[in-house]
Structure 1
Amino acid sequence: MNILIVTQRFYPYNRIASFRINSFAKYFREAGYSVTVVTEGERDEAVNWNGCDVHYIKDPIMTQMQCNKFVRENKKWVPRRALRALETRILWGGPCIWRAKAYKKIEELFQKNNFDIVLSSYGPLAPHVLVMKLLKRGYKFFWIADMRDEMSKHPLNTKLRTYRFAIYERKILAKADLVVSVSKPIIDDFKTMCSHGRFLEVKNGYDYEEYHEVNFQSQFTMGYIGNFYGMAVPGNLFNAFSELIEEGRLPRNSRIKIVGNSLKLDIPDKIASNVVQYEAVPHEEAIRISMTEVDVLLMVHKSGRKGVYSGKLFDYLATNKPILALYDPNDVVAPLLAETKAGFIVDEADKEGIKDMMMKCYRIWKNKEVLPRDWDKIRQYSRRNQIQILLDYLSEVFCRGNN
């Protein structure tokens, strides 16, 4: 069968959102499907990636990589970014020039191929809008809408953004042959907006070899890999860490290593020298750092947004390092950590609880202990095994259709 993937984020874009779609393409191809990808790139070109035909379409106004660079360099209102901001406020379906160029390429590909399946990814809207246009023009295929996270119900949306997204969201949910998302709570929310049950939970996951060796740093080091954003606010993390050092419960040379954060952080003066920040690195290097240069892996997320695992959780799982999740103890991360025995969870708002958990992690480091991870449970969260859930579903659907 032939599969077309329409996405704005794909390799080499160095973000969790692209790693998910990379894995769809990679493991669809390994399963024997013919895979074509239409995505955004730094130039218009066609390449072969892991056996997949990838067509990169450049957005002449601003690419995602350019936008990230402007954010890192604090170039907030260069003309191109101002134009993109204006376009975002006026247009509902995503960047208009990129959409036009991408649709033209997609129609060219449809003239050459009979695509059985089209998968569109969260963009949040542009890829789904392109597929709905194909349907309107009469093209026939099985549509998988990978919603990934919430759309209209994201708690950080403005009222206008919520209203706009809800209009498209209901159309996507109604028209897609299958809707995929990362967690049951998010799927349950989507179900309230439509009358069908065509949903499938496909989590994110890790895509590297398990690392069973354990090394301990010469000074106690906790690590956070990635950006602080939205509801990931490190204030209580820093305050708890500062107080433990001030109280003499943690050594004064203890460290927090932050890799890849581009936002300005409010770090207390007392621990300014203890918090070390590094620029973003390729994903493979970030995994290596997680495995070999820290003793504890940190996650931070305020309560109030249900069903969010965070991509870094799965990247952390197979490193054999304790995970300390400052997360809602009543949400999805808690049972996953419990079943895999990979770490600990404490409410991000509970500073005293954070201090207790930090001390627990410190004692593990001091005593050179290793958590008794359940590797069989962990392996179900590899990207290969998560994509297999979708492959099994498709095999059943198409076999049933042929019968």
Structure 2
Amino acid sequence: MKILIIVYSFPPLNRIASQRPFSWAKYWSRLGHEVTVLTKEKTGEDGPLNLEYSPNSLKDVRMLELKAWPFRLKRSDANKLNNISILHQLRRYIDACRVLGHADFWGFSAVRMVSKLHSVSPFDLVVSTYGPYGSHLVASRIKRSLKIDWVADYRDLWHGNHVRPKKWPLNVIEDNFEKHFVKSADLITAVSEGLNNKLSARFNRIVYTIENGFDEDDLPAGSEERYFPDDGKIRIAYTGTIYKGFQDPSPLFEALAGLKQKGCQVEDKIRILFYGSRMGNLHNLINRYGLDSMIVTPGFVSRQECLRIQRSVDALLFLEWEGPSGEDIITGKIFEYLYSGRPILSVGGGLGKQPGLIERYGAGVALGNSPQLIADILEKIIGGYKISYRLSEEQLKQFSRKYLAEKMLSLIMEWKWSRRVAQDDPKNKTAG
């Protein structure tokens, strides 16, 4: 098949969202399909552009990168003059009110480009993944104008998004806007059963679940070597973004502060490491609980270094999603953690799918929002207790990016075959 993948997040953009479409391009091309990736040309405004990957991964993939429209309110520097602060506030207001964002305008010239390519060598399939909106908008226009089969994939909700919810009347506009464009999709896929249930109810149709996962090829050379000094410290690491208002390490910090006050050896023995550039209100919480001697914030590191860190610490910290839709979310980060071979301490939430996933496969413990429960397990760890990790290689296979990319392609091929059989059935042909 000739497959066109339309996506905003794609390497070298170093975001967890880049990895899902990257795995499709990589593994579908290895299966002999002709894959083209249509994406926005990345700039520093999009995020860190240092996601490392082997050039051989995309050696048979055609890349098409389009420039975004040349307008955007720049992020302000807090140290600049007052008028810049006003501009920043204006930008935040626009972000809250608009239905489309800067990342959605890169695709306006895409349909013309795809039409030219299609006239020379027709595409058999278009796959787009949300978010942001632009990917589905472009794919919908291509579907309508060129009549190419279209798979609309969801990593998050569009209408009803838990991070950027819209208020009336924008929520009504957004709802109708999405339904108008996505109704022409031939297949809809989602990353979790929770999202699947919500999307199938909204669109009144079958939605298929293709989970996130982890690509074993991403493991760096020497990833088994010790990253930290052998100094007797117990290291627990969090890697990634913390979304203020949705993820909260406060129960952990309260437990640490309580152990410190109790006279436990927590200051001498434990180090909690937070790696990432977007840490929400983490530093305020560290100061509030007086934990600067135990909490380390090295900042952003490359993904390869991040994977080495994950495999070198004593345990990994996972912050469960709080609030509405938390039970629907299974992040790509959890699969990195599962592949690390290190036990996971899940803090927060309590009703979500991810703590259940962690405990079901024996990959760690879900501690919820109880500072006492967290303090008890930390005290045991200081005393030499080892949290078990029982996830087998056979169990991990179902979370392999390769397996999941092949699963998605099999779903698409089966749908195409079923449609062809139905079209060839004499009962479905018009007499005459």
- The Cα of 1:166 is off from its aligned counterpart by 1.4
| Aligned partner of 1:336 among 340, 348, 357 | 357
Match of 1:308 in 2: 329
Match of 1:247 in 2: 262
2:271 alignment partner AA: R
Change (3 A) 1:172 1:244: farther
2:407 alignment partner AA: I
1:202 alignment partner AA: I
> What is the RMSD computed on CA atoms of the aligned residues?
3.2
Question: Are the equivalent residues in 1 in contact too, given 2:330–2:353 (CA < 8 A)?
Answer: yes
Question: Are the equivalent residues in 2 in contact too, given 1:150–1:186 (CA < 8 A)?
Answer: yes
Match of 1:112 in 2: 120
Q: What whole-Å deviation, never above 9, does each CA across 1:175-216 have from its counterpart, x for those lacking one? A: 21111111111111111112221x111111111267996967
1:166-185 correspondence runs (5 A): 166-185=175-194
Match of 1:376 in 2: 394
Change (3 A) 1:202 1:224: same
Q: Percent identity?
A: 26
- 2:215 aligned with 1:207, yes or no? yes
1: CA distance, partners of 2:240 / 2:311:
15
Change (3 A) 1:134 1:60: closer
Q: Which has the larger radius of gyration?
A: 2
Match of 1:220 in 2: 234
Match of 2:148 in 1: 141
2: CA distance, partners of 1:317 / 1:246:
33
Question: Are the equivalent residues in 1 in contact too, given 2:236–2:317 (CA < 8 A)?
Answer: yes
2: CA distance, partners of 1:330 / 1:107:
47
- 2:375 aligned with 1:352, yes or no? no
2: CA distance, partners of 1:59 / 1:299:
35
Change (3 A) 1:126 1:212: closer
2: CA distance, partners of 1:62 / 1:204:
33
Question: Are the equivalent residues in 2 in contact too, given 1:340–1:375 (CA < 8 A)?
Answer: no
2: CA distance, partners of 1:193 / 1:38:
28
- Equivalenced residue count is 390
Report the TM-score, using the length of structure 1 for normalisation.
Answer: 0.85
Question: Are the equivalent residues in 1 in contact too, given 2:247–2:348 (CA < 8 A)?
Answer: no
Match of 1:17 in 2: 17
Change (3 A) 1:120 1:251: same
- 2:308 aligned with 1:284, yes or no? no
For structure 1, list consecutive stretches of 5 or more residues without a partner in the other structure: none
Question: Are the equivalent residues in 2 in contact too, given 1:36–1:53 (CA < 8 A)?
Answer: yes
2: CA distance, partners of 1:118 / 1:72:
40
| Aligned partner of 1:54 among 42, 63, 68 | 63
Match of 1:389 in 2: 407
Question: Are the equivalent residues in 2 in contact too, given 1:217–1:295 (CA < 8 A)?
Answer: no
**SS of equivalent residue, structure 2 residue 255:** helix
1: CA distance, partners of 2:387 / 2:377:
15
- The Cα of 1:271 is off from its aligned counterpart by 1.1
**SS of equivalent residue, structure 1 residue 325:** strand
- The Cα of 1:112 is off from its aligned counterpart by 3.0
1: CA distance, partners of 2:225 / 2:321:
30
More moved, 102-111 vs 22-31: 102-111
Question: Are the equivalent residues in 2 in contact too, given 1:152–1:162 (CA < 8 A)?
Answer: yes
2: CA distance, partners of 1:115 / 1:73:
48
Question: Are the equivalent residues in 1 in contact too, given 2:247–2:322 (CA < 8 A)?
Answer: no
**SS of equivalent residue, structure 1 residue 313:** helix
- 2:275 aligned with 1:234, yes or no? no
Change (3 A) 1:79 1:226: same
**SS of equivalent residue, structure 2 residue 305:** helix
Change (3 A) 1:7 1:274: same
Match of 2:317 in 1: 298
- The Cα of 1:232 is off from its aligned counterpart by 1.3
Question: Are the equivalent residues in 1 in contact too, given 2:191–2:211 (CA < 8 A)?
Answer: yes
Question: Are the equivalent residues in 2 in contact too, given 1:214–1:320 (CA < 8 A)?
Answer: no
Change (3 A) 1:362 1:124: farther
Match of 2:426 in 1: none
1:181 alignment partner AA: A
1:165 alignment partner AA: E
- The Cα of 1:248 is off from its aligned counterpart by 3.2
2: CA distance, partners of 1:135 / 1:175:
7
- 2:135 aligned with 1:122, yes or no? no
- The Cα of 1:107 is off from its aligned counterpart by 3.0
- The Cα of 1:35 is off from its aligned counterpart by 0.8
- The Cα of 1:106 is off from its aligned counterpart by 2.8
Change (3 A) 1:264 1:369: closer
- The Cα of 1:362 is off from its aligned counterpart by 4.4
Report the TM-score, using the length of structure 2 for normalisation.
Answer: 0.80
Match of 2:33 in 1: 33
- The Cα of 1:34 is off from its aligned counterpart by 0.9
Question: Are the equivalent residues in 1 in contact too, given 2:235–2:315 (CA < 8 A)?
Answer: yes
Match of 2:424 in 1: none
2:267 alignment partner AA: R
**SS of equivalent residue, structure 2 residue 150:** strand
1: CA distance, partners of 2:111 / 2:94:
18
Q: What whole-Å deviation, never above 9, does each CA across 1:90-117 have from its counterpart, x for those lacking one? A: 7534436423233343333323331111
| Deviation >4 Å, runs of 4+ | 70-91, 209-217, 360-363, 367-370
